[in-house]
């Protein structure tokens, strides 16, 4: 029976140790205020709430520094910095997604060149059509000019005047349209040129 008594005794001791409350280690806080007065307390010293305080071990050796509470201005500045970091993180992630989509669309220069040709097609077609129309209007203009020679020194018929004015207006309109389409071609090429330079870097990084 003795072994059973010994085992039971150990069980009681172990249970008592498990249920015993944890020992609370007191803390000591030390600081020096603006006037140079030194304070020590088991709580943060109210005289030094505007500065860092030193938490000490029981042997008075330094344990850690407890930073002073931040001012409202400092909190606002921290929040601005946090928001800036978050914006930069989102911008970086968006840039990475954009680059990934760009590489998916244009795995090589041939694909990019094909997209450029397609983007330019509408403007180039519009210019060709406008120039063809210009040529027709010039032929019509010559006929109208020949007809107008019959009325040198005389009053031209109203219908002839209207036809000449309409021809001039149409040719002016076509010239403006061609100029606009040429500007559009320039704009498209600039966009594709800039995109191509960026793609060259991405393609190079892929090969590394």
The whole-angstrom separation of Cα 162 and Cα 41 is 103
Residue 23 has pLDDT above 70, yes or no: no
| Contact status, residue 185 vs residue 144, Cβ threshold 8 Å | no
At 78-87, the pLDDT tens digits run 999 999 999 9
The structural domains of the chain, with segments of one domain joined by +, span: 25-69, 71-105, 107-207
At 137-196, the pLDDT tens digits run 999 999 999 999 988 888 999 999 999 999 999 999 999 999 999 999 999 999 999 999
Helix, strand, coil shares, percent, the chain, to 5: 70, 10, 20
Tokens of 33: 């205020």
Question: Three-class SS string for 33-77?
Answer: CCCCCEEEECCCCHHHCCCCEEEECCCCCEEEEECCCCCHHHHHH
Decide: helix, strand or coil at residue 103: helix
| Element spanning 28, H or E | strand 28-32
């Amino acid at each position: 029976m003795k072994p059973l008594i010994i085992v039971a005794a150990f069980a009681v001791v172990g249970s008592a140790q498990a249920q015993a409350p944890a020992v609370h280690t007191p803390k000591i806080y030390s600081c020096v205020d603006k006037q140079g007065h030194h304070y020590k307390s088991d709580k943060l010293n109210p005289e030094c709430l505007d500065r860092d305080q030193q938490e000490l071990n029981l042997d008075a050796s330094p344990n850690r520094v407890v930073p002073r509470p931040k001012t409202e201005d400092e909190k606002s500045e921290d929040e601005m910095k946090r928001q800036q970091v978050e914006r930069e993180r989102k911008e970086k992630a968006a840039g990475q997604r954009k680059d990934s989509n760009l590489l998916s669309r244009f795995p090589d220069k041939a694909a990019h060149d094909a997209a450029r040709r397609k983007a330019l097609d509408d403007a180039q077609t519009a210019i060709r059509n406008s120039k063809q129309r210009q040529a027709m209007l010039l032929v019509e203009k010559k006929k109208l000019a020949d007809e107008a020679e019959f009325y040198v020194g005389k009053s031209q018929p109203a219908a002839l005047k209207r036809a000449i004015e309409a021809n001039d207006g149409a040719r002016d309109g076509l010239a403006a349209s061609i100029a606009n389409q040429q500007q559009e071609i320039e704009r498209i090429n600039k966009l594709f040129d800039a995109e191509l330079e960026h793609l060259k870097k991405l393609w190079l990084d892929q090969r590394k």
